[in-house]
Amino acid sequence: MPYQTNGPFMLSSALRLASSFIRRTDGSIAPTFALAFIPILAAVGAAVDYSNANLTKAGLQAVLDSALLRGAQDDSQNWKNVALDMFKANLALKNMSAAEPTFTLDQSTTTYSGSVGTAVPTWVMGVFNVKSIPVVVRAAAKAIPGDNSCILTLDHGQPTSHVSLDLNGAPVINLSGCSIRSNTAIACNGHDGDNTKAIAAGGASGCHRPKPNSPVVPDIYAALASNITSVCGSQRPGVNWEPGSLPTGSGFITVSKSTHVEYHVCGDLNLSGMGYLTGSAPSTDAIIVIENGSLNIANDAAISTKRASIVLTGDNTYPSQIVFPQGNGKSASLNLSPPTSSANPWQGVALYQDPKLTKNVDNKWGPGATFSADGLVYLGNSNVVTDGNTASSNAKCSKFVMNRFTTNGSVDLDFNQSVAACAAIGLKQWGGVVVHLVK
């Protein structure tokens, strides 16, 4: 049933008032009021009935809005049924009745629409043969596409006018199936590629296919820090690791977990040589946890991982950086492939820096640096400046997330994403949300 006002009370009050006037015998009140009573009654009745109809309309609008939002958030082939179930449940909670709503989706604009109607019985206007007032409400919700960026800058605490993704020089950008994205602004001062979108919450100056004034992407990766454990305490002797065998010594501690093995490095991890750190065909996932230290790659090193995450954490006292060799003629490569077990909380994560680290976390990668990774590389508080090259690795599904990112010179940014490849390695991305209702 529809919402009810105090219509019967108002009507009975009007009738009592009319009756008192009719009983008066002095002067000409009785015949005068008799003539005026019918239009007065009609006016009072119309006010009561239309007020009741408006309350019903407001309640029905709220029910339709919530149902449409729920269906749009579901974003599956079954979204209409999800919306309908929500509509019926909320309608029952409000003790209302209505026809079954109609839901539609405009694929070209990703706009979800709905409409529904009901008839509100009248209290007074029925005397004048108006038995009900029709009420129809409509709503539309627009969904934002999910984020498929290969490079995302978070730019914590800055206004959207601040540039956090700055492409200087003449970068060679080859992005297939993904975009570059900033939670503030992008400046494409060099060449930003002809096959990608430049999505920014602020402006996208000089960029090909700019998408300015776009929604801010939430940092869905910060919560992964809850999976970090520390075992080193205050000791940090550091570890030298060359592929072929596991390090030894007090700075290297092995911890077995139900879904993986953890290698804790107390202090800096210094990598040299060539090959896979934990083997080219490991039988289980591994997490390399660097506590209170940086990851240092030696000159001429070519380091790879397989089914492994590198996690940097600490007490925010020591530098936490990815250090490539600097200087003319120096070079090194880091090629990462993440854990694959769905039971492992680090699935799809190639490298992760604890978001509580904010001191000495910025990175500068020189011309000889080559950084390739599948899965997530998360440096949420780091401002990265690179003259080197970054890319996808084997499965061709990568996401580099930083606070700010600046390129100089002839940098190669070579990434490729597909839904199937990202799902295969368990890379999770923001799926998009319904941001507002459009009337």
Question: Which range is most confident: 14-23, 147-156, 195-204, 383-392?
Answer: 147-156
Domain definitions of the chain by residue range: 7-143, 149-430
CA distances from 421 to 63, 281, 396, 412, 416 (A): 40, 19, 7, 22, 9
Mean pLDDT of 214-229: 94
Mean pLDDT of 207-231: 93
Q: What distance in Å separates the CA atoms of residue 321 and residue 314, rounded to the nearest whole number?
A: 12
Residue 152 pLDDT: 97
Res. 433 pLDDT band, cuts 50 70 90: low
Residue 388 has pLDDT above 60, yes or no: yes
Q: Which of 27-31, 53-57, 356-360 has the lowest mean pLDDT?
A: 27-31
Three-state secondary structure call for residue 423 = helix
Q: What distance in Å separates the CA atoms of residue 206 and residue 201, rounded to the nearest whole number?
A: 15
Residue 30 pLDDT: 55
Three-state secondary structure call for residue 215 = coil
The residue with tokens 């006292």 is 317
Question: Which range is most confident: 10-19, 166-175, 189-198, 219-228?
Answer: 219-228
CB 277 within 8 A of CB 241: yes
Mean pLDDT of 315-339: 95
pLDDT in tens, 338-355: 999 999 999 999 999 999
Res. 126 pLDDT band, cuts 50 70 90: low
Higher per-residue confidence, 106 vs 226: 226
Residue 149 has pLDDT above 60, yes or no: yes
Return the C-alpha torsion angle 234, 237, 239, 245, nearest 10.
-100
| DSSP secondary structure letter of residue 410 | S
Best CA proximity match to 275, nearest among 239, 298, 305, 297: 305
Residue 123 has pLDDT above 80, yes or no: no
Res. 281 pLDDT band, cuts 50 70 90: very high
Residue 99 has pLDDT above 80, yes or no: yes
Higher per-residue confidence, 125 vs 261: 261
Residue 304 has pLDDT above 90, yes or no: yes
Residue 236 has pLDDT above 80, yes or no: yes
Higher per-residue confidence, 109 vs 221: 221
pLDDT in tens, 368-382: 999 999 999 999 999
Beta strands 252-256; 260-266: pairing state: antiparallel
CA distances from 185 to 181, 293, 377, 426 (A): 9, 32, 21, 29
The residue with tokens 């007020």 is 51
What the block records as the tokens of 159 is: 């206004």
pLDDT in tens, 55-73: 999 999 999 999 998 888 7
Residue 308 pLDDT: 97
- Exposure class string for 381-397: b at 16+ Cβ within 10 A, else e: bbbbbbbbbbbbbebbb
Q: Which of 63-67, 171-175, 365-369 has the lowest mean pLDDT?
A: 171-175
Residue 36 pLDDT: 54
Best CA proximity match to 400, nearest among 411, 169, 410, 409: 411
Residue 90 pLDDT: 94
CA distances from 113 to 54, 118, 180 (A): 22, 18, 31
Mean pLDDT over each residue of the chain, to the nearest integer: 87
Three-state secondary structure call for residue 312 = strand
| DSSP secondary structure letter of residue 97 | -
